[in-house]
Structure 1
Amino acid sequence: MAEEKVVRFGILGCAGIATKLARAVGMTSNSSVYAVASRSIDKAKAFVSANNLPPEVKTYGSYEQLLDDLCVDVVYIPLPTSLHLEWALKAAHKKKHILVEKPPALCVEDLDTIIEACNNNGVQFMDGTMWMHHPRTPQMKTFLQNPDLFGDVHLVNCTLTFAGSSKFFEEDIRLKPDLDALGALGDAGWYCIRAILWANDYEMPRSVIAHPGPVLNEGGVITSCGATLSWKDGRVATFHCSFHSCLTMDLSIHGSKGNLNLYDFAIPYEENTASFFTSTNTNFRDTAWGPKPSEHRVTAEFPQETLMVQEFARVVKGIQDSGGKPDSQWPSISRKTQIVMNAVKTSIQEGLISVTL
């Protein structure tokens, strides 16, 4: 029996996060790292060596050379956000499926251009929001969709912060206006907004307003901010993201009958297991609460990055084998997240106005 063909990844750039992707691909059975490109051939070779990739992995000294390689099925783009539009369009026109780091674009208009190019060329688009692919995520959704245990969503609170070092604030691309102008909002805030939309079944809010006190660096890049999202039926969600506060990844979802809480929603404390807490019909019992929240532990066979790669490769393989169309849910979810993120940015820029969606 002939060996089943794997989906061949080309890594476009040697950013630090690309190390995670290279490791993730190496742990799958349906994909492989086929090529690595950098603006320097020496840097591409150093990346292959540092990540213990097979010696047969091809290395290129330009991104164009990798895109011209007909054997590359998928292009992973970990480049600064300001470069996503250019290289995603070039990859789509070369019929390469695209897995791009978040945020996928600087604005909704750029993302729409990328998605249109992917649709026109029959290639799959997905952003790299890894926690979406952890087995904990669908288990939490099952609880949220149970009318007897959770009821209706009323409120979502989300926080993602970490304290950057002095070197981080001086050198990291996420603080450079010409590279990643969305700063903490595009990095940590993207995860929060995605979690809020996920909890609300991707129903878009009616309005978005940024919180007072956003922090911007000298280049005008957001380093800390928050916002409130409101729906026409009274649902509310808030989030806070920052490069200044101690590491926090809290998500709380409050319903008419129950609550869901977790403290590591974007990156689990451990790779192979993750927990979340639920409570239903909690009330005061004399001097104490009751019933107490229940902990649910979920085992993951692979890290969430690997599960993301497996899912993306599965979709790509289906397109290749059957000539089917790309899965539209992934670009749709990315677009909704981008719309809300850019509304927060507009609110900040315009003096904390309420932005109607």
Structure 2
Amino acid sequence: MTQPKNCNKIVRWGFIGAAQIARKNWKAVRMSGNGVVAAVASRDVSRAEAFIHDCSMEVPPVVVGGDGEATLARPVAIGDYQALIDRDDIDAVYIALPTGVRKQWVIAAAKAGKHVLCEKPIAVHADDAMEMVDACQAAGVGFMDGVMFDHSARLPAMKHSLGDSQRFGKLRRIQSHFSFCADDSFEAGNIRADADLEPHGCLGDLGWYCIRLSLWAADDRMPVSVSGRAISKYDGGSVPSEFQAELQFDNDLTAGFFCSFRCVNQQTATLTGERGYLTMDDFVLPYVDAEAKWQCHMHDLQIDNCRWNFGRHTAQHAVWEHASGEADSQEVHMVRDFAESILSGAPSARASEIAIKTQRVLDALRRSDVEHGKWVTLA
């Protein structure tokens, strides 16, 4: 089927790579209301065909015309990345390739005038990341990394909680943990244990989210210095499989996180102030629900001679937001927000800036690890 002409109402997406996470974003495009998947590219065209078939069976790709009529719009399967980038019926590309090979295709897409939504971590190191973002800016196209929780309605609501000076006070500590326990085949068969494809291992795959949460809580300020150590490694000792980190900000704020491929599923975050603290136990992938939740605590220790009472004072908070696969889900907001910026002709400056900041912190942590946890200063 011939793809529809772009009437400035929808963004026509090209998917480069058929990774598992791309299936979630296939549905996000479908639910966004302002996008359609026009083509999918893989090095093996049969893999692209299989991806389209499987995703279409669960979530048929549909485009709504100016007359309000919905039309099935099966994407084209392509066996060459550049061929997808060169198509005239593609406005934006979603790049789900491994980190080690991503730079080439981000720059190629930018030069072809395509907007770029890129999986994370965005690059092998910050110099590459800057080259990628600079190429997008030079071409006048948008760049965003695929951090879904950045677009959740929960974050601005939580900022309101953190801004309650009477109940929370000054923010002093950010602590997060993101892990899952990989099976015995992971090291030998998963690209996240491969130094050439995913050199940052768990730090890139999981720690990226912990860094991002810390930056968000610090109002996008960069830390002054960082210290990090890989507790265990894959691929001859070069790919972190467990990592712990400390970040020092100005204004007496610190952050710490732990990420691991060797611990049970856990996605917890604690933001601590002088009077209270805020917790989440699903900060990356929300639990299946129609609400995104967090808790605010202001416990009280009362001592009177022999009486010691530690009183629990916890308030539950939530925003109406489905965990996944609905029009109000965070990944759908991500795709829709990016498409809206494209259609408006005003790509978000913050999107590329925060991606670069995250990469710079990751780089500094890798340098610290090489120097056995030495504190590394960020200029």
- TM-score, normalising length: structure 1: 0.94
Deviations 1:117-143 (A, max 9, x none): 011000000000001111111111111
Question: 284-293 vs 112-121, which deviates more?
Answer: 284-293
Deviations 1:214-270 (A, max 9, x none): 211133110001111112432211100000001110100011222110100000012
CA distance, structure 1, for counterparts of residue 119 and residue 313 of structure 2: 39
**Equivalent of residue 14 in structure 1, options 4, 12, 18:** 18
Question: 1:341 is matched with which residue?
Answer: 362
**Equivalent of residue 339 in structure 2, options 313, 317, 321:** 313
Q: Does 1:214 align with 2:231?
A: yes
Distance 1:132 1:288, change over 3 A: farther
Distance 1:218 1:58, change over 3 A: closer
Q: Give % identity.
A: 36
Tell me how far 1:61 sits from its aligned partner.
1.1
SS in 2 for 1:165: coil
Q: Which runs of 5+ in 2 are unaligned?
A: 1-5, 62-72, 322-326
**Equivalent of residue 25 in structure 1, options 4, 29, 43:** 29
Tell me how far 1:297 sits from its aligned partner.
1.9
CA distance, structure 2, for counterparts of residue 289 and residue 202 of structure 1: 35
**Equivalent of residue 194 in structure 1, options 212, 215, 226:** 212
Conservation of the 8 A alpha-carbon contact between 1:223 and 1:242: yes
Tell me how far 1:271 sits from its aligned partner.
5.1
Q: Does 1:260 align with 2:281?
A: no
Question: 2:288 is matched with which residue?
Answer: 270
Conservation of the 8 A alpha-carbon contact between 1:274 and 1:297: yes
Q: Does 1:350 align with 2:378?
A: no
Distance 1:101 1:271, change over 3 A: farther
CA distance, structure 2, for counterparts of residue 231 and residue 349 of structure 1: 22
Tell me how far 1:77 sits from its aligned partner.
0.4
Question: 2:69 is matched with which residue?
Answer: none
Question: 2:85 is matched with which residue?
Answer: 67
Deviations 1:187-218 (A, max 9, x none): 1100001011111111111110114x621113
CA distance, structure 2, for counterparts of residue 351 and residue 259 of structure 1: 32
CA distance, structure 1, for counterparts of residue 312 and residue 371 of structure 2: 46
CA distance, structure 1, for counterparts of residue 164 and residue 358 of structure 2: 25
CA distance, structure 2, for counterparts of residue 271 and residue 31 of structure 1: 25
Deviations 1:163-185 (A, max 9, x none): 00112222111110110000000
Question: 296-305 vs 308-317, which deviates more?
Answer: 296-305
Question: 1:223 is matched with which residue?
Answer: 241
Question: 2:324 is matched with which residue?
Answer: none
In the TM superposition, structure 1's runs of 4+ consecutive aligned residues that sit over 6 Å from their partners are: none
CA distance, structure 2, for counterparts of residue 122 and residue 344 of structure 1: 31
Question: 1:284 is matched with which residue?
Answer: 301
CA distance, structure 2, for counterparts of residue 271 and residue 198 of structure 1: 24
Question: 2:197 is matched with which residue?
Answer: 179
Tell me how far 1:298 sits from its aligned partner.
1.7
SS in 2 for 1:75: strand
CA distance, structure 1, for counterparts of residue 338 and residue 289 of structure 2: 19
CA distance, structure 1, for counterparts of residue 45 and residue 149 of structure 2: 32
CA distance, structure 2, for counterparts of residue 124 and residue 76 of structure 1: 12
SS in 1 for 2:263: coil
SS in 2 for 1:197: helix
CA distance, structure 2, for counterparts of residue 152 and residue 206 of structure 1: 18
Q: Which runs of 5+ in 1 are unaligned?
A: none
Distance 1:5 1:233, change over 3 A: closer
Deviations 1:309-343 (A, max 9, x none): 11111111111xxxx4x221011111111111111
Distance 1:69 1:181, change over 3 A: same
CA distance, structure 2, for counterparts of residue 174 and residue 58 of structure 1: 29
CA distance, structure 2, for counterparts of residue 3 and residue 108 of structure 1: 37
SS in 2 for 1:234: coil
For this pair of structures, how many residues does the alignment match?
349
Conservation of the 8 A alpha-carbon contact between 1:271 and 1:303: no
Conservation of the 8 A alpha-carbon contact between 1:272 and 1:302: no
SS in 2 for 1:120: helix
Conservation of the 8 A alpha-carbon contact between 2:300 and 2:313: no
CA distance, structure 1, for counterparts of residue 118 and residue 318 of structure 2: 30
